[in-house]
Amino acid sequence: MSPEKIVEQQVAAYNARDVIAFAACHHPEVELYSLGEKLPFAVGRAQLKTRYEEIFDQSPKLHTEIVQRMVMGNTVIDKEIITGRIGIEKQHYIAIYEIRDGLIARVHFLTSK
């Protein structure tokens, strides 16, 4: 699967709040970072699943809109607007996805405060 396709599949699972399909888009050893941080805030599918399961359960109107996408090799960069997350009306994100073996292996997030 192409890098763009796996990211698109992950976005669809996110918008459906389907944690099983969402986790399946990620490499078993996935690492999630806040941009500029040296240590990941989640490592592995199990941590990713636990973290997003809570978000999905608490935010029944959660939705992300991709407003811009760039693809270069195995890297996909999305500019997103996330709405419906509990406690946050609207948030802008940049997500940098690194793809390995057809799955999302590393993600760096930059968010508006």
Summarised one tens digit per residue, pLDDT across range 20-78 is 999 999 999 999 999 999 999 999 999 999 999 999 999 999 999 999 999 999 999 99
Closest CA to 22 of 2, 42, 51, 1: 51
Q: What domains are there in the chain, each with its CATH number? A: 3-111 (3.10.450.50)
Q: How far is CA 78 from CA 57, 87, 93, 105, in A?
A: 24, 23, 8, 15
User: In this structure, which long-range contacts are made by residues 69-73, counting pairs with CB atoms below 8 Å and at least 24 apart in sequence?
Assistant: 69/4, 69/7, 71/3, 71/4, 73/3
The per-residue pLDDT for 53 is: 96
For the chain, the helix, strand and coil percentages under 3-state DSSP, each to the nearest 5: 30, 50, 20
∠ CA(97), CA(5), CA(60), 5° rounding?
75
At 89 the pLDDT is 82
Reported confidence tier of residue 112, pLDDT bands at 50, 70, 90 = confident
Would you call 66 helix, strand, or coil by DSSP? Answer: strand
Q: Does the pLDDT of residue 99 top 70, yes or no?
A: yes
